[in-house]
Structure 1
Amino acid sequence: MNNPLPATGYLRLPQILGNPKANPPVPPIIPVSRSSWWAGCKSGRFPSPVKLGPRTTVWRVEDIRSLLQTR
């Protein structure tokens, strides 16, 4: 994994799925499309999001780390 995860905290969707248009580009932790990610969250395949505000959705680093260990 090129992008080391912090010990605790939250990740936004571009940090998880990557953002090739950013400067510098952000490599994906989990290389799936946005629609596949949201479908996986709905079905339970991926962790559930946490709403911090009306326009801010994040995922717990601990949940992403456990997802990577099970893959």
Structure 2
Amino acid sequence: MSNQPVTSVEAPQPQRHIMRRDEVEQKTGFKRAHIYNLMKEGKFPRAKRADLYLSAPSTGVDLGERRQA
């Protein structure tokens, strides 16, 4: 074995995109009640407070989290 240091290469992190419910409905084709039922069953990411990501206090779904599920 060589004495060269091992360097790790990290995969780039996907950019976060918080979607509001109306955008989630439009992109998925699901209605509000179905989205909430999927959240309750753990089959869809839970809504999160998005105060830090959106201009007004609201909730949204993290699109990056949805892709990992």
TM interval, shorter chain, is: 0.5 to 0.7
| Maintained 8 Å contact 2:18/2:50 | no
Query: For each residue in 1:5-25, what CA deviation from the matched residue of structure 2 results, as whole angstroms up to 9, or x when unmatched?
Result: x9323111111111xxxxxxx
**Does residue 1:66 correspond to 2:48, yes or no?**
no
Q: Which structure: larger Rg?
A: 2
Letter of the aligned partner of 1:66 in structure 2? Q
Normalising by structure 1, what TM-score? Answer: 0.58
Normalising by structure 2, what TM-score? Answer: 0.59
1:46 equivalent in structure 2? 44
Query: For each residue in 1:14-69, what CA deviation from the matched residue of structure 2 results, as whole angstroms up to 9, or x when unmatched?
Result: 11111xxxxxxxxxx2111110101111111111111235x6111112012234xx
- Percentage of pairs with the same residue: 18
Unaligned runs of 5+ in 2: 1-13, 52-56
Unaligned runs of 5+ in 1: 1-5, 19-28
1:3 equivalent in structure 2? none
CA distance in 1, matches of 2:65, 2:28: 13
Aligned residue pairs: how many?
Answer: 51
